[in-house]
Each structure stands twice: as structure tokens, then as C-alpha cells.
Amino acid sequence: MDERGSRCRTAARCDAAPQRRSLVLHQPQGRPSRSAVYIITGPAVDDLNYTATAWVKTRDAVEAGLRVRLKAAEGNWIDVEPTFDTLEGTNDWTKVNCRWRSYAGAARFILFLRVGVKGKAWFDDIQVHDDFESAAHASAFTSLHQDLAATLATARRWDHPFGAELARDAVARLAALDGQVAQYTAQLRSLNPGSDAPVELRVRRAQLTQTIRSALTGIRRLAGLGRAIDQSEHKDAKYIAGWASSAVHVFLRDCPIDWRTEMPGRILAVKGEVEATQLVLFPIKRDLDEVNVRVSSLASPAGHVLDETQISVSPVGFVKTTIVPLNRAVPLEHEYLGWWPDPLLGNFAFDVAAGDTQPVWIAVTVPRDQPADIYTGHVRIEPANATPQVVPLEVEIADVLLPDSNPWAFRNLISFHPHFARTFYGDRWTPAMQEKFFEFLLDRRVNVVSMYQNEAYETVENMKRFVARGQNTFLIHWYTQTAIVSETDAPGMRARLEAFYPVMKSMNLLDRAYVYGWDEIGDPGKMHGMYGELAHAANILKREYPGVSVLTAGTDDTYGTDSPLTNLPIAFCPNMKFDVGHARQAQAAGNQVWWYDVNWTIDQHLVRSRLIAWQTFKLGADGYLMWAINRWHKNDKPIGKKILTDWNPTLDGVCPNSSAMYVYPGKDGPITSLRLENFRDGIEDYELLVEARRRGILIDITDDLTRDLTQYTTDPAVLAEHRTRLIRALAGRSTQR
């Protein structure tokens, strides 16, 4: 067929059935490489692995083969990460494969025939198989059923005063579920030997698997809440309060939570930083109405005071997920579809339903001149329909000053796009509103910068203003993936550089200046032309604008040490990997090597957001890139004073849930998130790590904290231990700044 999908009557494989007609896809030179024709669609069953095969013949083709995407029941696309074969050049009939796994939330798969930037390919005998009948799947389902039976037996023996009624309800649900599994197993056994299970039974097993997992998770939550009551000083009260680390998700319902009811709540902070903890409220049998939470001023034994104005209270809001992300470069905390905590709301009186666990973010902003000491005070919890409680809070301020570095130590590029802001806010996107977001980012040492467009806010005046705050990265110009640049002529880049370069040179800021471009252009061996254009731009900078580098997320795996980009002013930014050996060679040659993250979602362990900076420090990467910070795509309602928000995290990220979205749009300005506040805390940790290195203090970031960018602890206690050790080392060898 041509690019519209016509059939070829003469090119079928010689061993194919005589009446079969193969399909031929023709890709004219220069057509966008994402063009493809879909050929097969079918139901996507959770947890199954699929293999598609086809026989392919090519003529002068680039990247010919099969590709796949998934669709949710709502119709939106879900990205999947398949493994696949590709054919290059001219080949006789060759069998190719495409393999992928389906996850919860996906409803259908769409199989595509694809040719890259040019060439022609014939496709024949296309088939799709799954591994439903594999021994591994059968064994996993049997094991899960056994866990269900054991949990049912335990629930029947429930003897805790808390949750007796809930346990009885759970027993009824588990017993009914056990019966459904037995019925399903009987249906499966009744099939004729050797016959395929119908789609309905494939889907049913996936549904039962998800339901059993949810039921087992719910029982673990119930047991954990019972233990928390046993530990509480207020076990006879209508509600209990406790504490959780700032680096954990406190789920509203359904999932277990990691918290403690022992008092007091504790925070360890240094001078000049923001540090937080989470208060957790759990109404045992009755709803709590209109709960007000307030924090007193804190005082030390020496009479020093940490004023209540330095302490913020933010009830945590929740967003509802309906799709499980498919990218597993980093682990998910749960494959849980439901309410996830993320937005930090302005303080207001809120309700908590019986059995729910509501977190409240309590953050202390420590003045730079605050005396080191241990400060104590209290948090007052005042529901409208229950007795108030007062719980103690303790803040230890160490004799360490957070460096007020300029430039900031941690280089980052997390693009702020006014396009998303203008689309969302419309006429409400005023210069004053934009300024609120700029100050919000700068307060968190996040650079105000965009990697996709030459934005109107990127002016010399703003550059000077942001430099005064410590901003360490500016993109002077931006190029697309397919930008054409001659070796001597680049008018757009030159015009931008002529405006910025003299000023930045005079202010000794060229180490903060970059030109961004040729994003994810692929292997230099296959995309030689585009790497040539990148090299042209870099050569212009080298000759005429020394000190400015090209920053690129192109996939040169050698980082310029063995490629067409050797000896050029380029900062390399590989995607979710960091080859330490090549990076050290590139850095020794004067190049920077950053790393690039494309999937940083709500449903990953929250501690990961704080560890990003620790990982960057340990590996010696020069910076961190995430492609957007405010992708508010298709959402149209601002976050308000509502615990269960209307925000749809499926819509705002290319990869759900909320990848590339870390600040929410509020009615009057930015609403921060758990992930961004943990990222901010990590940036402050990074400043302390750099300060320790400057003083010659050896800080060993061991593998139990993080091994690399994808292997790290999910236990916030391990991070707290490393951070405490860092702060104690700095306090023991403090010097007058």
C-alpha cells in the first residue's frame, strides 16, 4: 500500500497462501518519521505480554518494522515501551517482532506498520499472540488466590477492638471474591484441551487479579491503622493524630501508610532552609467536620523564638488516577488507581471522612540568622464536631547555614511554558500572575527557562534579575529536532546571541549560557545529517561566541568522546542513563554531561523526588533536565480549597500521571506539590553536599541510598540517616562564612 494503505497484489511471500496480498508502505523522502499505518487492533489485557510478528521486505528503508500504542477506555493514547526489530536498507522477506506489556487502564492495543524517514516496505502474515497460558501467569494467579485464602482466614480471627465492623465487612467481601475465583477456575478448566481461552476469560482473570490485590492491600491498611491506635496516647478519642515523613505518600484510603502516633513530631533543619513534616489525622468512627489546624510559635530553652509566621500549614489535596503509567525505568509505589496525594493547598477548614487518613503539610522556613537550638511548640487540631487536640512539635535547628550561593550549585532545566499558562488562564494570565510563578520558581532554586521556544520572557532585563537571585542556566536560543544550520550562517542564533552575549560576557556569566537543540535525534550513525547540523552550530559558538555551549538531549552515547561531536562546546544530556566512564572523559575534555528524565510521575515513591539531586551529586552529573514543569494540558479548572480536587492527572502528561507537571494552577497563583517540595528539599541538600566537598568533608553516599538513576531506596528513613550524618558533619566542622 502507499502511505494511505493500498494493497499490493503481486508482492506476497512465495510461501504465503496464493490469495494473500501483502501490504506495502511507502515513505517519501523527508516525510515526518512518526507517519505509520495501523493494521491490527485488539483488547489490551492487564499484565499480559504480547508478541506481534510480521514478514517484511524493504527497499532503501530506514527503521522499517512494527510499532504499538495503547488506548484507554476514554479514548486517549497511552505510551508503551515496546522492544522491536527494525530493518534498514534493502532486505528480502525477513521476520520481525514487536513485544510489549499491557497494564491497568489500557483498553486496546493498536499495531502499526512503520517506515522511518524514507523507503518502502512490504508487510505480510501479521500475527499477535499473548502469554495468557504461560506457567508463570498461572502460578502467579494461584499464589495470589492462596494469599487471598490466608488473608480471609486471618480476617475471620480479627480480635482488635478497632475495625471489628470493618473486618466483618472485609470478610464478607473476601469470601465473595474467593467464590468468584473458584467459579472462574472451574470455567477455565472446562475448556477443551489445547483450545485458546476466549477474550472474556482473559479479561476476567486480569479483573480478578486487580480486585484481589486491592482487597489484600485494604486489609494491610486496616491492620496498620489498628497498630497505630495501640500506640496512640488518644486511643479512646474519636480521632487520633500522628506524624509521617515529608518524603512519603499518606494515602487518603485503600492503601497502607507509613506513619507513627508517638509524639512529638520532629523536624531537623539548617539555617536558611525550608524543611517539613506531615501531620496525619485519622477519624476512627465518625467524620470530622471543618477541621482547623494551627501551629504555635516555637521556643527554645535559651529563650529563642521561631515565630509562627515562619511555619506554614497546608492540607494535602488529592488527584484521582485512572491509568497506570507504562514506563518502568523507575519503580512505581503502587499500581493503584484512585486518589493520590500531591497538591499542597492553602490552609482552610476541611472535612475528613471516618476511616480516611488526611495529611497536613507543616513546613518551617528557618531565618538565616536563627540561633541553633531545639525549639518546641504545638499544633492545635480543632474540628467543629469533636474535642480539640494539641500535639507537640519539635524543630531542631543545627548550627549550619545553607549556602546562599550565586550561581546556585544545582543546575536544572525544567521548562516553564507560558503557552500552557496562557491556554489555561486566558485573560487572567497577566504580567502580575506571571511574576507570581517566576518568584515561586526562583524561591525554590528552579531556573526560569524554556527549552522549546524562544520565549517572550527571555529578555536581558529578566536575565539580570534572575541572575541576582542565583539562576545558573539560560537558553539563549532554541533549535528544533530537524533544524538546518549552515556552518557559517545561523541568523536566528546570531541575533539572539548578539543581544545577550556582550552583556553576559561583561558580567562573567557565560558559564550559564546555552543554546538548546536537536532534542532526541537518535544514534549519530543513523542520523548523521542532524548531528552535522548540531556540529555546525557548535562550531559557530566555538569560533565566535566562546564560552557558550550547545545543550542537547541527542543520544550520543559516547558524550562526544568517540563521535562526530568530539572537541566541540556541547553539554550532553542522556535520557535516564549516565555512563560514568564516558562522562569523566567528556568532562576532562571540557564538556558538561547532564542527565534527562522523561517520567517523573505522582505514582512513583515520593522519596525519589528528593533523591534526584543526591543522584546527580553521586554520579557527578553537571545538571538535571525535565522537559516541562507546568504541562496543564486539557485541564481547565484551577486548584481550589477542595481536598478531592477536580484535576485529571491523566490529561496533563504525555506519560500519565502528571509527568512534566509539578506546579498546579491556582485561582490566584501557583499551588505547589509534594513532588516539587521534595525536589526543592533535595536541591537544598545538594547545596550542603557541595559545601561539605568544598570543606574537604568526606560524604559517602552509599548504594543503600542510591546506586544510580534508577536504583535507589524507597525508605525515607535511609535518606534521613544520610542527611543527618551530612548535617552533623557540617556542624562539627563549621567555619565562619
User: How far apart (Å, rounded) are the C-alpha atoms in residues 584 and 595?
Assistant: 14
State the pLDDT at residue 186: 93
Higher pLDDT, 15 or 506: 506
Q: What is the CA radius of gyration of the chain?
A: 28
Please report, rounded to a whole number, the percentage of residues in the chain having pLDDT higher than 70: 93
pTM equals 0.89
- Confidence category of residue 1, pLDDT binned at 50, 70, 90: very low
pLDDT, tens digit, for every residue of 434-467? 999 999 999 999 999 999 878 999 999 999 999 9
Lowest mean pLDDT, pick from 36-40, 82-86, 110-114: 36-40
- Confidence category of residue 684, pLDDT binned at 50, 70, 90: very high
**Per-residue pLDDT for 399 more than 80?**
yes
Mean pLDDT, the chain, as a whole number? 91
State the pLDDT at residue 18: 41
Three cell numbers at 509?
Answer: 556569566
**Per-residue pLDDT for 649 more than 80?**
yes
State the pLDDT at residue 158: 78
State the pLDDT at residue 468: 98
State the pLDDT at residue 116: 83
685-722 as b/e: b if 16+ CB within 10 A = bbbbbbbbeeeeeeeebeeebbeebeebbbbbebbeeb
**Which range has the top average pLDDT, 137-141, 326-330, 689-693?**
689-693
- Confidence category of residue 656, pLDDT binned at 50, 70, 90: confident
- SS3 for 546? coil
- Confidence category of residue 22, pLDDT binned at 50, 70, 90: low
Bond before 657 cis per omega within 30 degrees: yes
Angle between the N-to-C axes of helices 491-506 and 460-469, in degrees from 0 to 180, rounded to the nearest 10: 40
Angle between the N-to-C axes of helices 431-443 and 418-425, in degrees from 0 to 180, rounded to the nearest 10: 130
Contacts of 428 by beta carbon, 8 Å cutoff, 6+ apart? none
The mean pLDDT value for 147-161 works out to 84
State the pLDDT at residue 330: 87
Lowest mean pLDDT, pick from 132-136, 459-463, 623-627: 132-136
The mean pLDDT value for 471-499 works out to 94
Q: Which of 184, 99, 192, 201 is nearest to 144 (CA)?
A: 184
Cα(first)–Cα(last) distance of the chain, in Å?
72
User: How far apart (Å, rounded) are the C-alpha atoms in residues 481 and 533?
Assistant: 10
pLDDT, tens digit, for every residue of 348-392? 999 999 999 999 999 999 999 999 999 999 999 999 999 999 999
- Confidence category of residue 736, pLDDT binned at 50, 70, 90: very low
Q: Give DSSP secondary structure letters for 365-391.
A: E--TTPPSEEEEEEEEEE-TTS--EEE
- SS3 for 522? coil
**Which range has the top average pLDDT, 187-196, 560-569, 647-656?**
560-569
What is the maximum alpha-carbon separation in the chain? Answer: 94
The mean pLDDT value for 88-112 works out to 92
The mean pLDDT value for 399-415 works out to 98
State the pLDDT at residue 644: 99
State the pLDDT at residue 727: 98
State the pLDDT at residue 20: 45
**Per-residue pLDDT for 154 more than 70?**
yes
- Confidence category of residue 267, pLDDT binned at 50, 70, 90: very high
pLDDT, tens digit, for every residue of 305-337? 999 999 999 999 999 998 887 666 788 999 899
**Per-residue pLDDT for 208 more than 70?**
yes
**Per-residue pLDDT for 298 more than 70?**
yes
Contacts of 563 by beta carbon, 8 Å cutoff, 6+ apart? 524, 531, 556
Lowest mean pLDDT, pick from 50-54, 141-145, 552-556, 629-633: 552-556
State the pLDDT at residue 227: 85
pLDDT, tens digit, for every residue of 179-195? 999 999 999 999 888 77
**Per-residue pLDDT for 73 more than 90?**
no
User: How far apart (Å, rounded) are the C-alpha atoms in residues 601 and 702?
Assistant: 25
- Confidence category of residue 119, pLDDT binned at 50, 70, 90: confident
The mean pLDDT value for 623-629 works out to 96
Contacts of 662 by beta carbon, 8 Å cutoff, 6+ apart? 414, 600, 629, 630, 673, 675, 676, 679
- Confidence category of residue 555, pLDDT binned at 50, 70, 90: confident
The mean pLDDT value for 474-503 works out to 94
**Per-residue pLDDT for 11 more than 80?**
no
pLDDT, tens digit, for every residue of 24-62? 666 665 444 445 677 789 999 988 999 999 999 999 998
C-alpha pair distances (Å), 511 with each of 318, 542, 545: 40, 13, 12
State the pLDDT at residue 17: 45
State the pLDDT at residue 411: 99
**Per-residue pLDDT for 6 more than 60?**
no
**Per-residue pLDDT for 23 more than 50?**
yes
Indicate left, alpha or beta for 118 from its phi (over 0: left) and psi (-120 to 50: alpha).
beta
